[in-house]
Amino acid sequence: MSQPSPRKWFHTATIYQIYPSSFRDTTASGLGDLAGIISKVDYIASLGVDAVWLSPCYKSPNVDMGYDISDYRAIDPRYGSIGNIERLVQELRKRGIRLLLDLVVNHTSNQHPWFQESKSNKHHPKRNWYIWRPGRTEVVDGKEVKLPPNNWASLFTGSVWHYDEATDEWYLHIFDYRQPDLNWENPDLRKAVYADMRFWLDKGVAGFRMDVINMISKPTELPDAPGTEQYQHAAGLYCNGPHVHEYLQEMRREVLDRYPDIVAVGEAPFTSDPAVVRAYVEPERKELSALLLYDIFDLDSGPGGKFTAGDWTLKDLKGIVCKWQRALSFSSGAWQTVFLESHDAARSVSRFGDRTVANREKVAKMLAMLETTLSGTLCIFQGQELGLTNLSDEVPIEEYPDVETQNMYRTLKEARQLFARDGEKEVDMSDVAEQVRLKAREHGRQPIPWDASKPHAGFSECKGKTWTPMNTDAAVCDVASQEQDADSVLNFWRRMLKLRGKEAETLCFGDFEAVGEVDDEPVFAYWRRGKEARTILVVLNMTAQDGVRFRLPMGGVYELLACTDPGKRVAGEGVGETPENGGQDIWLGAYEGLGMGVTSQR
């Protein structure tokens, strides 16, 4: 086990993720833009966050909403200009907030000049900047059929290989075929990526969130993945590959360590082994600051992927939290992130609680209490601070624009049609539709409702539709009304982030211990213990069940620091402070959460 690192700003930081397309539109185009973000910097600062992570707004044909980049050094004119980024850096800095950009270098767009050159002929010096292979052939009914080089499945359905007629070779793409994977084995490619990173760091950017950074090193042989499916899920082969650590250490030396106080948060899907994670984040290895892990996001995926029903229980959710809190803590010398939402997921209120009008706020606050009392760099996604829910069921699925949703829906439908009785083309997709309504990325990508009294809730002045659907019913939970309400979800987040700052010694640097067994019971309770700081006990009722009993552990005097239901209990200095003696029963309402300082304990 490695030693705790020197303390860095990101250990206590909260990062606010902004999805530029959906934050604020100033051009009446229906798509958010950088000027819109700049116009809201005071709002961002009012949340009490330390950094902003901006999802991509580089030049892109937008097949995957900017995660397909055609020029790393240009801002897509739909969002603004480089000047807007420079201004955003300044405006945020004035308010003590740093800007992180998204670094998407596992793949580029197929429109990137690098790919265009690579594709131009087999002998081009950039051919090897991407992953090209000859295909396989098979004779079917006396005819030669071309087959991809291996059986790997793309994460956006189908094969990872796309055939290029002109050169009679295939290139690899883990995501859409318009997102070809870069070949990190090529040192010239790596140098070019580092130069593009420096371009932004020289502009005062404080670091990066690194898209699928654990996928950049593929096994050179590209062996078939085990299994009998035509296209086989192969993340076990292309994630955490043979040279990934070498490349990241090189990136640190060549780029990141040349700038002060940089943060590098790597996204690492399909990675659940703490030992594998530690190899990226132990400070002495000089790779990344922390990883974004997917265990919670994948919790409700079914056997046929995200849009098939998955069974999960509270015990699973609690278990994941406990596992990572124990495995990666400041005292054990490995850091982590804490997050429940991003642009890649549905809204946490709808996934983990219920979105009834009666419970929405309660669930949002309970989850806010969970996240703000765990250790790790906290990443909150825009709109989460408002307790936004999934899209309402009135929005037809055909209007969901995401490439992932549409590909997966179509693939599942085609598979059903194939197995349907002759001529029967109308297959039942209601179960898939239900999963889309629960988990599609569009739910997270809804525009921010700034003011419900305005068209498009103040997000845009466009005449027609916004680029992606948004809830416009009474339950939009807009910023304007939440600003007026001291007990709104928004103001609860602000209070919890303040508390997190004040109690950072315990909540950020302290250790974690669950109270009792991790089980399926409604309550999730845990201790946070800091060195030379008070212990905090967090008690959460994670269900809609009212009147749930929790027995305060013996031998403590508990002082209420935070509560989700101020009508019932009052937190705060002097006012209704409720020291309670150990051994006492407390009764929790639906989704109620309590944070208690423990002033003396056995």
Q: Quote the least distance from Cβ 35 to ligand TEU, whole Å.
A: 23
Q: Quote the least distance from Cβ 175 to ligand TEU, whole Å.
A: 4
Q: Quote the least distance from Cβ 66 to ligand TEU, whole Å.
A: 9
Active-site annotation holds for 434: no
- Is residue 592 close enough to count as binding ligand TEU by CB under 6 A? no
Q: Which of 267, 361, 478, 559 is catalytic?
A: 267
| Nearest residue to 348 (alpha-carbon basis) of 476, 439, 272, 437 | 439
Angle in degrees, CA 266, 267, 270, rounded to 5: 130
Residue 310 has a CB neighbour count (10 Å cut-off) of 17
One-letter amino acid for residue 138 of the chain: E
Q: Quote the least distance from Cβ 269 to ligand TEU, whole Å.
A: 4
CB closer to ligand TEU, 267 vs 511: 267
Q: Quote the least distance from Cβ 212 to ligand TEU, whole Å.
A: 5
| Nearest residue to 29 (alpha-carbon basis) of 535, 446, 460, 373 | 460
| Nearest residue to 335 (alpha-carbon basis) of 98, 51, 10, 52 | 10
CB closer to ligand TEU, 35 vs 155: 155
Q: DSSP letters along 377-443, please?
A: EEEEETTGGGT--PPPTTS-GGG---HHHHHHHHHHHHHHHHHS-TT------HHHHHHHHHH-GGG
Q: Which of 169, 176, 211, 521 is catalytic?
A: 211
- Is residue 402 close enough to count as binding ligand TEU by CB under 6 A? no
SS3 call for 537: strand
Q: Quote the least distance from Cβ 156 to ligand TEU, whole Å.
A: 7
Query: 126, 347, 360, 441: which one contacts ligand TEU (CB under 6 A)?
Result: 441
Contact by Cβ (8 Å): 305, 287:
no
Contact by Cβ (8 Å): 388, 347:
yes
CB closer to ligand TEU, 64 vs 521: 64
One-letter amino acid for residue 298 of the chain: D
Residue that the structure tokens 């000859």 belong to: 134
Query: 300, 385, 404, 503: which one contacts ligand TEU (CB under 6 A)?
Result: 404
One-letter amino acid for residue 392 of the chain: S
The site for ligand TEU, by CB under 6 A, has a size of: 14
CB closer to ligand TEU, 178 vs 318: 178
Q: According to CB under 6 A, which residues from 36 to 75 bind ligand TEU?
A: 64, 67
CB closer to ligand TEU, 211 vs 282: 211
Burial degree of 27 (CB within 10 A; 0-12, 13-18, 19+): middle
Active-site annotation holds for 282: no
- Is residue 364 close enough to count as binding ligand TEU by CB under 6 A? no
What are the φ/ψ torsions at residue 351 (nearest 5 degrees)? Answer: -80, -40
Q: Quote the least distance from Cβ 444 to ligand TEU, whole Å.
A: 10
Query: 306, 362, 456, 500: which one contacts ligand TEU (CB under 6 A)?
Result: 306
Q: Quote the least distance from Cβ 375 to ligand TEU, whole Å.
A: 24
- Is residue 287 close enough to count as binding ligand TEU by CB under 6 A? no
**Chain centroid to CA 489:** 20
| Nearest residue to 388 (alpha-carbon basis) of 334, 299, 329, 459 | 459
- Is residue 442 close enough to count as binding ligand TEU by CB under 6 A? no
- Is residue 324 close enough to count as binding ligand TEU by CB under 6 A? no
Q: How many residues does the chain have?
A: 602
Q: Quote the least distance from Cβ 144 to ligand TEU, whole Å.
A: 34
Q: How far apart are CA 173 and CA 176, in angstroms?
A: 6
SS3 call for 511: strand
Between the alpha carbon of residue 175 and those of residues 70, 125, 171, 318, 450, the distances in Å are 15, 25, 12, 31, 33
CB closer to ligand TEU, 342 vs 506: 342
CB closer to ligand TEU, 126 vs 441: 441
- Is residue 320 close enough to count as binding ligand TEU by CB under 6 A? no
- Is residue 341 close enough to count as binding ligand TEU by CB under 6 A? no
CB closer to ligand TEU, 403 vs 496: 403
Q: According to CB under 6 A, which residues from 187 to 246 bind ligand TEU?
A: 211-212
- Is residue 112 close enough to count as binding ligand TEU by CB under 6 A? no
CB proximity list for 180: less than 8 A, separation 6 or greater: 107, 108, 110, 115, 118, 130, 131, 162, 171, 172, 173
CB closer to ligand TEU, 25 vs 176: 176
Residue 587 has a CB neighbour count (10 Å cut-off) of 12
Query: 269, 383, 469, 597: which one contacts ligand TEU (CB under 6 A)?
Result: 269
Query: 91, 282, 341, 344: which one contacts ligand TEU (CB under 6 A)?
Result: 344
Query: 155, 364, 499, 518: which one contacts ligand TEU (CB under 6 A)?
Result: 155
Residue that the structure tokens 């990572």 belong to: 324
Query: 175, 335, 492, 524: which one contacts ligand TEU (CB under 6 A)?
Result: 175
Tell me which residues touch ligand TEU (CB under 6 A).
Answer: 64, 67, 104, 155, 175, 211-212, 267, 269, 306, 343-344, 404, 441
Give catalytic residue positions: 211, 267
